[in-house]
Structure 1
Amino acid sequence: MTDRQQTATLFLCGDVMTGRGIDQILASSCSPELYEPWVKNALEYVALAERHSGPVRQPVSNRYIWGDALDELDRRQPDLRFINLETSITTSPTPWPGKGIHYRMHPDNIACLEAARPDGCSLANNHVLDWDLDGLDSTLETLTGADITPVGAGRNEKEATQPGVFPLAGGRRILVFACCLESSGVPANWAATATHGGVYRLPDLSDRSLENLTGRIRAVRNPGDLVMLSIHWGGNWGYRIEPEQRAFAHALIQKAGVDLIHGHSSHHPRGIEVYQGKLILYGCGDFINDYEGISGHEDFRGDLTLMYFPTVSRETGKLHSLNMVAMQLRRLQLHNATEEDRQWMAATLSRIGKDLGTHCMINATGDLVLGWK
């Protein structure tokens, strides 16, 4: 049996934000009107990016925003492609009341997501309901029509909490659950109920929340299934991993049987841990956004993004290897990072991973490769 038959390779990334400025450069776009405290027109984000990096010839193609990432995906052919989609796909004119930031992409621009061929996406985050329940309904309908499985949100609690089920070769499956927490900016009234649409929102990181997840996993898991949890948690900036986050991640692996934790919310990559042989990505960072040219937090290098390609055992879910590809956002498009930037990212991941028992090296092909104790 070959290594490829014994293992599965996934593509994971952090926040894909195709609304606002990104939506404006695509062939079809929503009204640029915004309801933010300082910026009232989404085209201002496009202008900011152009002042920073140069002109963007518009409208761009559906493949444009992914840039060099598409070649990497074609070359590696992962068994599962899963992203965190932080955008409502809708033309709804009604923003969620009292919320300061609203992301939406026109449904006719769904081909820009299809270009990367994601199998599924997490919607359990703090932007999917930016345009209220009508926006959520449109998002679910558009994604399903594009054969992209939405996870972590639904028209009721049953839909929001059920996993995405993705087949793997050899008759195995990977179940992907997605949830979110208040710490990432998700209001309590966004939680789905028996009669109300919304997201799968955990109230906290308590034993009760762990039991909730554990019960849902055991109810649908078959022998041989792998389980991934995609979780939107924590703040936007900073490398600190709260003790309760780490304890919860460990308990998910030890008690709930989760094989891989796909964390996101932070605008930059955070530390990585391997616990009992299982991968924990505490924060994958943004992957695609319209923040280019916005000042502040430059030390975190939010312009640098990572493609994560974990390879895990199909039988045990244990991590075999983690290769990462560093990208840089320029002119609202992903480009291969320079050698200098790859070195900076590897050094940063090693520094922040020291207390987690991980470090990062660069191999002969330029991949960032995780090492662990």
Structure 2
Amino acid sequence: MNGRALIVGGGIAGLAAARGLLRAGWEVDVRERLSEPPDIGGALGMWSTALDALDRLGLVEEVRAVGCAPTGALIADSGGRTLARLDSRGPSVLLVSRSTLLRILVAALPADTVRWNTPVTAEEIGRATGADGFDVVIGADGINGTVRRTVFPGAPASRPLGTIAYRGAVPGHVDAFSETWGNGRIFGITPMDGERTNWYASLNADLLRGRDPDEDPVTLLRDLYGDWHPGVARVLAGLPGTAIDRRVLHDLPVLSSYVHGPHALIGDSAHAMAPHLGRGACESLVDAAALAEALSLGPTVADGLRRYDRLRRRPAGRIVRASRVMNRVAMVSRLAGVRDGVLRTAGTLMR
């Protein structure tokens, strides 16, 4: 079947869902409160499930053309000693910058599909499937989005992870992915686009206790990571003059359903997760492809939404829980040596 869909949110999940529904013959109206796609940088890992979703959306070749595959991956301690290593025979991932993926998704839509600088109110959501004539309303507006708050009033609130994250990019290129673990903090370095190196840092919020919240992030990061191995030091040296994104991390408890009447949640609105498995953007793309296919194949909107919920809620919920566990493990301040010893043993066994 086909119909009219209102998508609230013009991020990765919302744009991908619009692409899928338009290809299935639906009329789509995307509304986004920002005036344009955000350019917050950072590389996203496209695992096989995400690449499959992009293929179903007809965009995988465009993403492959601009992405890069790391030659290997390792986890090290702050002195640079390898704790675990994955080589090219391990699980494959394609890295693409967030801003590039958003540009591809926007370019894949007719020019008038997205209404930028157009926030949606609770009142508009309430009448969307009535007076406004939409058959389905899709909430893709993030962890504290209006659709989730309006249509799912019993949905649990977001949970703080006790973690502060920084991310950005510096000039230069690396071939491999690396993540360095220390006491209550990690530092990740990945390829990005052949010209820049993507980096991210996550740290236990307790480490910032007593510090000025407005402290220059370059100064803070150099203080916290400045005595780590040369690979981290090279990135720290390139930070001045670059954009640095800072955020307090939260995730969402697993919902009993992603669907309520003619409303559905996708992406972070449904299952915001800790970034420590690198699966947030992947799951948003999988949501979008699954929802578009379910709505196009179902005899009614209700049937299609039930199929989407059945396909996505439990798998995404498992990744939310696993990501939360990984956040706890990576952010350990006490017994970090024991953690690293277990990881080193596991890495040896994998090799």
Structure in which a larger fraction of residues adopt strand:
1
User: Structures share a fold, TM > 0.5?
Assistant: no
Structure in which a larger fraction of residues adopt helix:
2
